[in-house]
Amino acid sequence: MPLVTTKEMFKKALEGNYAVGAFNINNMEILQGVVNAAKAKQSPVIIQVSSGALKYAGPKYLKAMVDAAVEDTGIDIALHLDHGADFEACKAAIECGFTSVMIDGSHYDYEENVAKTKEVVEYAHARGVVVEAELGVLAGVEDDVKSDVHIYTDPDQAVDFVKRTGVDSLAIAIGTSHGAYKFAGEAKLRFDILEDIQDKLPGFPIVLHGASSVDPASVETCNKYGGAIAGAKGIPEEMLRTAASMAVCKINMDTDLRLALTAAIREVLAENPKEIDPRKYLGEGRKRIQALVERKIDEVLGSANKL
């Protein structure tokens, strides 16, 4: 079976009050851990690739691995470009065979964001590809995406943006952030903004970026075996589950996967200092990613048995 778009995924998610997990990959082991979990839980899944991942692994290698995952698992998989910087980045992903792209114009002024998003939408839709855009600004750092400020999404502006661009889904800013250090104090998401957007755009798919919970067990393991990840704090999972039961039908996770893989590698090498076989430590990382994603599907996304 071929790769799919997110169109039908999101329609089912909105009807079923759950979200589809969008997981960033950089190598084979991360991909296998994610899709093995999705297959085990019979959940649809979105595989995301950032510009940093494209530079690291190469678009042809990544696309070929995802194609192999589709053939091997037989589940619904969409391949998505995360935070496409401009039209050319989105065009390159579409030509490579991605079924979904994100044009991130959130750092531009509003009118320029509208114009750039509309340009990508027209090109993508003509080729059967769906488009995600972003309105509002998330603080934090992840790959090439960084901001020191957080600007909440304006619900009325969101309505205008969707109408003028024809975009298929919209990433909004309600308090999530990129990276492992999301909150200095108490975690808070602006569900009032989400509710307002949901009321003003009924049945429209909303996306949450920066939604890793920064798994405490992985952080503890990293630090136990030589890491220095003090003060890392993510989004409480009960908040994410609430969002998934509303208009949010795509939840992005990257940091949690990085932490799980790093924790496994640190532990294996610390406890087996003579080990030089990458299959041993990367294989353990793959197992932990699978366990993490299975739990996210069950407890956060609610997407198990939705194929």
* Residue 298 known to be catalytic: no
Number of domain units in the chain: 1
Amino acid occupying residue 302: G
Domain housing 129: 7-138+155-220+231-258
Task: Give the model's pLDDT for residue 140.
Answer: 47
H or E segment and range at residue 281: helix 278-296
Task: Tell me whether residue 297 is in a domain.
Answer: no
Task: Give the β-pairing of 140-142 and 145-147.
Answer: antiparallel
Tokens for 87, please give them. 């039209």
CB 69 within 8 A of CB 32: yes
Does a structural domain hold residue 276?
no
Residue 110 domain flag: yes
The answer to whether 121 and 165 have CB atoms below 8 angstroms apart is: yes
pLDDT of amino acid 147: 46
Residue 116 sits in a domain of what CATH number?
3.20.20.70
Q: How far apart are CA 160 and CA 114, in angstroms?
A: 9
Q: 88-92, 113-117, 136-140: which range is least confident on average?
A: 136-140
Q: What is the pLDDT of residues 239-263, one digit of tens each?
A: 999 999 999 999 999 999 999 999 9
pLDDT digits 0-9 by tens, 139-156 = 544 555 554 566 899 999
> Is 201 inside a domain boundary?
yes
The answer to the question of residue 296 being in a domain is no
Residue 306 lies in a domain: no
Catalytic residue among 67, 72, 76, 82: 82
Distance CA 190, CA 7 (A): 26
Instruction: Say how far apart CA 63 and CA 68 lie, in whole Å.
Output: 9
Which position has the higher pLDDT, 233 or 86?
86
Quick: pLDDT tens for 196-226: 999 999 999 999 998 888 889 999 999 999 9
The DSSP annotation for 35-91 comes to HHHHHHHT--EEEEE-HHHHHHH-HHHHHHHHHHHHHHH-S-EEEEEEEE-SHHHHH
* CA separation for the pair 259, 214 (Å, rounded): 8
The mean pLDDT value for 69-91 works out to 97
How many whole angstroms separate alpha carbon 272 and alpha carbon 280? 10
22 located within any domain? yes
| Mean of the per-residue pLDDT values of the chain | 93
* Token representation of residue 105: 């114009």
Residues written for the chain: 307
Would you tell me how many other CB atoms lie within 10 Å of the CB of residue 126? Answer: 9
Note whether residue 42 is domain-resident: yes
